[in-house]
Amino acid sequence: MRTNCYHTRDGKGVKLTGGMCNASTYEQAAQRAAHGLTIAFANSGMPIFQDKTGREVSLYLSVHPEHLSNYPVALAAYQETKRKAREAAEREEEQRPVDETAEAVLP
């Protein structure tokens, strides 16, 4: 179970309502977020949501990357990139002279 955030906006983009719901899948979250909205059809035949007052609204559901199936692969690639960068910086630090401002001493 994970917490999902949602909100509705009117045709002008004004946020009307918002909330959170717990669901195992995004489909369940969408069903719960749409509770209280009705489905109507515009003149074009396109299905739309309407709130309790009959206003056409859009429903937005937050999708968190860590909930997606390809997240573990992306996380592993990110961590590998960071590890390589850290190792390269450490190698560069090791190769740098101890005191770059010191003059070379000639025998």
- pLDDT tens-digit map of 51-96: 999 999 999 998 888 888 899 999 999 999 999 999 999 998 888 8
The larger pLDDT score, comparing residue 39 to residue 100, is at 39
4-33 pLDDT tens trace? 899 999 989 999 999 998 888 888 888 989
Contact between 59 and 37 (Cβ < 8 Å) = yes
Give Cα separations from 32 to 16, 20, 81, 100 (angstroms).
17, 9, 39, 64
Global pTM?
0.60
Whether 103 maps to a domain, the answer reads: no
Position 78 scores a pLDDT of 96
Residue span of the structural domain in which 84 resides? 66-95
The answer to whether position 100 is within a domain reads no
Are residues 36 and 9 located together in one domain of the fold? yes
Report the number of distinct structural domains present in the chain: 2
Average pLDDT, rounded, for the chain: 87
For residue 107, the model assigns a pLDDT of 59
* Dist CA 94 CA 6 (whole Å): 51
Is residue 101 included in any domain, yes or no? no
- Name the amino acid, one letter, at 1: M
Other beta carbons less than 10 A from residue 35's beta carbon = 8
